[in-house]
Amino acid sequence: MKGFYKFAIRLMSFLMPLCYRIEVKGREQLPKEGGYLFVSNHRSNADPILIGIQNPETQFCFLAKQELFSQGFIGWLLKKLGAVAIDRGAGDVSALEELETRLRAGENALIFPEGTRSKDGKLMHFKTGAALIAAQTGVPVVPVGISFDGQLHFRSRILVTYGAPFSIPQTDPEKPSGAVLKQIRQEMSRNVAALLPMQTESQVQEDKPAQKGE
């Protein structure tokens, strides 16, 4: 684990409970070592930190939109933390390849398959990137659910729930079929939805045709 990442996680482990009332469920589900793909719903910019501080012994690699890396301190911080830049509008394969490399090296990877934050807390359609990473690496998947009422503010109560790791269907890692990727994506969505309150509509959303570019 890189020194700066370890320092940042220790600092955030102290600061975050001062800012928010954090409750964690399913902590016993957390793997003891790296090489797992964590998939979570996306509620706020604090989500990567909320998950990272619960796993202080293993470094996380996560994706961040490319524009953030040119924003002064934020960009510097993302680079120091080992984030991977992704161009969301250009089918950025290199970012996914970097995540795969980190997974095989024993890091955990964190990805938010919705691709953007949900403003109302309802789980949105999962895009295919996370399923593709899982199919190409064969690593186990850990579902995570993050929930809080309304907008995140000082002393908000946040519930972080971990589900049991699950394995993905066996497939050709070089050319996973569209049917297998859809199956993996739906399995991810179901597992995350099960960790969130009032998410019955998410299954209907998953059966809708994917939007262009997903």
pLDDT tens-digit profile of 37-78?
999 999 998 999 999 999 988 889 988 888 889 989 988 988
The CATH number of the domain where 179 resides is what? 3.40.1130.10
Considering the entire predicted model, what is its pTM?
Answer: 0.87
Structure tokens at 138: 């064969």
Chain centroid to CA 14: 22
Region of residue 68 (phi > 0: left; psi between -120 and 50: alpha; otherwise: beta):
alpha
pLDDT at position 204 is 39
- Per the domain annotation, does 60 fall within a domain? yes
170 against 99, higher pLDDT: 99
Residue 214 pLDDT > 50:
no
* Residue 57 pLDDT: 86
Q: Residue 209 pLDDT more than 50? A: no
Taking alpha carbons only, the member of 173, 167, 188 closest to residue 137 is 173
Task: Give me the domain span that covers residue 152.
Answer: 21-206
Answer yes or no: is pLDDT of 212 > 90.
no
Q: Would residue 168 count as lying in a domain?
A: yes
Rounded Cα–Cα distance for residues 132 and 129 (Å): 5
Q: 39 with 143: CB under 8 angstroms?
A: yes
CB neighbour list of residue 111: distance below 8 Å, 6 or more residues apart: 37, 38, 39, 40, 62, 63, 99, 129, 130, 133
pLDDT at 193 over 70: yes
Instruction: Please check whether residue 43 lies inside any domain of the structure.
Output: yes
Decide if 166 is inside a domain.
yes
Neighbours of 67 (CB within 10 A): 12
Tally of domains within the chain: 1
Q: Is 107's pLDDT higher than 80?
A: yes
Predicted pLDDT at 89: 61
Residue 54 falls within a domain, yes or no?
A: yes
Indicate whether 1 belongs to any domain: no
Distances (CA, A) of 172 to 87, 112, 132, 134, 135: 26, 24, 11, 11, 8
Q: Is the pLDDT of residue 31 over 70?
A: yes
Per-residue pLDDT at 1: 74
Residues 38, 51 contacting (CB under 8 angstroms):
yes
Instruction: Give dist(CA 96, CA 102) in Å, integer.
Output: 10
In a domain, 179, yes or no: yes
Q: What is the pLDDT of residue 207?
A: 45
Report yes or no on 15 lying in a domain.
no
Nearest-CA neighbor of 163 among 33, 63, 38, 52? 38
Task: Report the pLDDT value the prediction gives residue 202, as an integer from 0 to 100.
Answer: 41
**Predicted pLDDT of residue 92:** 65
| Percent of the chain scoring above 70 in pLDDT | 90
Pull the structure tokens for residue 75: 């960009």
Q: Tell me the pLDDT tens digit for each residue of 120-171.
A: 999 999 998 899 889 988 899 999 999 999 999 999 999 999 999 999 887 8
* Cα separation, 206 vs 191, whole angstroms: 12
